[in-house]
Structure 1
């Protein structure tokens, strides 16, 4: 049995709300630096995005899709769904920034550890990342 437009819109809205909850969980996992949780959430996030894409396709190919712009109830549901999509994008952008900051923080901490092992053995690569070189100046052949 084919789903009605109303049913498809309900499922789409529910899936987007689930994605928002998952994005909130992702931010907490990132700030707490829980790598396994972040990985699991990323997989769940991809599953939800795939479901959203599937329902979007079902809506766009539905034989009564013109009603989405003609019936007021459907119009309000579509508007609510569009707002949820924007909210998801905002959460995802914020999570990306938080993840980037955490990554930079890790590199700074890693550089401090390398410096504490010996300043004379440290150099930087072309990306500006500190490297501990044990043979610095000792492998010269004259």
Structure 2
């Protein structure tokens, strides 16, 4: 079934509103460090983004796409959609930064735990991550 340009715009708008809400939920899950929810939100986010891309393609190649520029009401709808896209990008960027900071905090905490087990057993790998080595200098054969 072929959709009208108005229907496609409405589908796009609905998908973007859903994505914006999902990004809010993702932010909460990140703040509360709920890993399973974060993973589920990532999957749902990918599904929504694929849907948005598909709608965008259909709108761009629709036979009535000229109406988006000619009709003021449709033009306003397109502008609202573009504002939602900007909002979603901002929220996603913020969530990404928060997730990176959480990951950095985890690595620091993990390093502190490893250090507390025994400083003499602590070394660093090629990535700069601390790791425990049980045989540090004790398994020499020479």
TM-score of Structure 1 vs Structure 2, range by shorter chain? over 0.9
Match of 1:23 in 2: 23
**What RMSD, in angstroms, separates the aligned Cα atoms of the two structures?**
0.9
Tell me the CA shift for residue 2 of structure 1.
2.2
Shift of 1:70: 1.1
| Gapped regions of structure 2 (runs ≥ 5) | none
Q: What is the TM-score with the length of structure 1 in the denominator? A: 0.97
> What's the counterpart of residue 46 of structure 2?
46
CA distance in 2, matches of 1:38, 1:51: 20
Segments of 5+ residues of structure 1 without an aligned counterpart are: none
The alignment of Structure 1 onto Structure 2 pairs a total of residues equal to 142
Structure 1 segments (4+ residues) deviating >6 Å: none
TM-score (norm 2): 0.97
The DSSP-based 3-state class of the residue aligned with 2:2 is coil
- Aligned residue for 2:30, secondary structure, equals helix
Q: What residue is the counterpart of 2:81 in the other structure? A: 81
1:112 aligns with 2:109: no
Q: What is residue 63 of structure 2 aligned with on the other side? A: 63
Displacement, 1:85? 0.5
- How far apart in 2 are the matches of 1:141 and 1:3? 76
2:33 corresponds in structure 1 to: 33
Question: Equivalents in 2 of 1:76, 1:60: separation in Å?
Answer: 16
Q: Quote the Cα distance in structure 1 between the aligned partners of 2:107 and 2:2.
A: 52
- 1:141, distance to aligned residue in structure 2 (A): 2.2
- 1:2-60: CA deviations, max 9, x gaps? 22111111111111010000001001111111111011111111111111111111111
